[in-house]
Amino acid sequence: MKILSIETSCDETACAVVEDGVKVLSNVIYSQADLHAETGGVVPEVAAREHILKIIPVVDGALKKAKCDWDDIDAIAVTKGPGLISSLIIGTETASVMAMIKNKPIIPVHHIAGHIYANFLGGSGETGADAESGPEFPILILTVSGGHNEIIYMKKHNEFSIVGETRDDAAGEAFDKVARILGLGYPGGPAISKAGEKGDREAFKLPRSYLEKDSLDFSFSGLKTAVLTQVKEYLRKKGVDFSSDDFRTISTKIPTKFKNDLAASFQEAVVDVLTDKLLQAAMTFKKTKEIHLAGGVSANSRLREMITHKLQILEEKGGKSIRLRYPADLSYCTDNAAMIAAAGYFIYQSDPKKIKKGQNITPTTSFDLF
Ligand code: KG4
Ligand code: ZN
C-alpha cells in the first residue's frame, strides 16, 4: 500500500511517499529555518504564507522522486494536529482537496504519533541484536520535540499511554530559548549541540529538576532561568548593562569559551534528566522490551550516547537488556512527512473501514487526539 503524506504543523513543508508503512520512496522537506532565523523563532503568519507557496511544488517533488503518479497512490495521510493552526490548515486543506479530486481515502494523523512511528521506518537506527526485525512491544518512547516532551508507554499499535510529561517547557523549547540567550541562532538544538562539543560539560553546576520521587514528569524552566542567571552574573561582573532583552546585542559581549561551556553544561543537565527519567520509567514498566527516542531532540548525539551508556550499565548490573532505537536518518527526527505516512499506514491497517474517501479534515491544536 502506497501512502502520500503531508506535514505542515510548524515550519517544515513536507511530503513523502511510503510503501507499507516502512519503505520510504521519497521524503521531501522544505525547511523554513533560514526565514525564521531572522526573528529567532517561528512567526506563525510568516510560516503559513511560506507553506502556501511551497506545498504544491513539494507534493509534486515527492511524487516525482518516488517515480509515482496519482494512480499509484492508495491513500493520503495528513497531520491533523497539534501544531500551529495557521500552518496545519495549509496541509489539511491541501490533503482534503487532493483526496476529494483524486477520490482517495484520507487518514488524519496525530503529529506525535508521527514522531513515534519514525522509528518504524526502514533503516531506523538501533542497537542490539536482531536488527532485522521490527519493533517489539511494549515500547517506552521518549518524545522530545520543540513543543512536546513526554514518556509514552505503547503496548501495541495505536495504543499510547502518557506516563510522564513536561510541566513547563519541552526539552527542544529549552534548547531554543537557551540558544537565543547565548545568541547561537535558530533552531537552538543543533546550535547548542555544536557549541557544546567545544565546551566543558562540568564548567557550570546547573540544576537538575527531578520533581517528586517516582514522578516521571519533567520541568526545564528552572534550568533555563539558571542559564540566564549565569549570563547576567557574567555581564554584571564585567560592568555590562543588562537592561535590554535584545539577546542578539547582548550575546556579542559574551566570549565564545563562556558560551561553549554554558551550552555544554546546559545540554548535559537536560540529557541527564531525560535519560534518568527514561530508565526510571523502564524500571516501573517492567515488561518494556524497547526504548525509542523520537522528535527533534532525538537527533542530539549526547542524548543518544548517554542513554546507550546507561542502558549498558543497567544490563551489566544484571538488569535486563532493552533494545534502543532512534531514527537513523536525521531527517526522520525533526518534522518530516515520512513519519506521518508510517503512522497513517498503521492507523489504516487497524481499522480500514473507519477511513473514508474524500473526507474533509479539520485541523486542531489539541494534544488530546490519541
Ligand atoms: O520535532 P521537531 O522537529 O518539531 C516539533 O514538533 O516541535 O523538533 C524541533 C526541536 C527544536 O526545538 C530543535 O531545537 C530541536 O528539536 N533539535 C535539537 C537538535 N536538532 C533539533 N535539539 C537538540 N539537539 C539537536 N541536535
Ligand atoms: Zn515535530
Query: pLDDT (tens digit, 9 = 90+) per residue, 116-162?
Result: 999 999 765 554 334 456 799 999 999 999 989 999 999 999 999 99
In-domain check, residue 94 = yes
Atom of ligand 1 nearest to the CA of 83: 6
Q: Are 135 and 120 in contact (CB under 8 A)?
A: yes
Same domain, 91 and 143: no
Q: What is the CATH number of the domain that holds 197?
A: 3.30.420.40
Query: pLDDT (tens digit, 9 = 90+) per residue, 76-92?
Result: 999 999 999 999 999 99
Same domain, 308 and 340: no
Q: Are 112 and 365 in contact (CB under 8 A)?
A: no
Atom of ligand 1 nearest to the CA of 147: 7
- If you take atom 16 of ligand 1, which residue's CA is the nearest one? 296
Chain mean position to CA 116: 9
Bridge partners of residue 15, in order along the sequence: 6, 28
Atom of ligand 1 nearest to the CA of 171: 12
- Secondary structure class of 75 (helix, strand, coil): strand
In eight-state DSSP terms, residue 242 is -
Q: Residue 62: which domain range?
A: 2-123+330-354
Q: Is 220 left (phi over 0), alpha (psi -120 to 50) or beta?
A: alpha
Query: pLDDT (tens digit, 9 = 90+) per residue, 206-258?
Result: 999 999 999 999 999 999 999 999 999 998 898 887 766 666 677 888 999 99
In-domain check, residue 363 = no
Same domain, 255 and 193: yes
Same domain, 213 and 290: yes
Instruction: Verify whether ligand 1 is closer than 6 Å to residue 105 (CB atom).
Output: no
Instruction: Verify whether ligand 1 is closer than 6 Å to residue 336 (CB atom).
Output: no
Same domain, 348 and 230: no
Give the global pTM: 0.93
Q: Which helix (H) or strand (E) holds 139?
A: strand 139-144
Q: How many domains does the chain have?
A: 2
